[in-house]
Amino acid sequence: MDLKSSVGICSRVQGYDKLVIIPQDPEKFNENQVIVLVAASDFESFTDEMKALIKFVQSAQTISDED
C-alpha cells in the first residue's frame, strides 16, 4: 500500500458549515482521495503508543538475538 501524507491547514469558510482542508503538498493528492483528519492531541497520543510499540518490538528482537 502506498500511503501519502502531508501536513495541512484545516479552516472554516465563512458562510459554510463545512471545513476546507488545504494540504501543504496538494500535488501529492488526486481528486476523490480520502483524507483523514487527526487532532493534534490524538496524534500526540498515537505517537506515544507507537513509541511504546517500537520499544516492545526492539526488546523482543534483542531477546531473540541473544538466544
pTM, two decimals, is 0.41
pLDDT at 32: 65
CB-count burial class (<10 Å; 0-12, 13-18, 19+) for 29 = middle
Which amino acid appears at position 13 of this protein? V
For residue 28, give the 3-state DSSP assignment: helix
Residue 42 near residue 59 (C-beta atoms within 8 A): no
> Tell me: the pLDDT tens digits for 13-53?
777 777 677 777 777 777 766 667 777 778 788 888 888 88
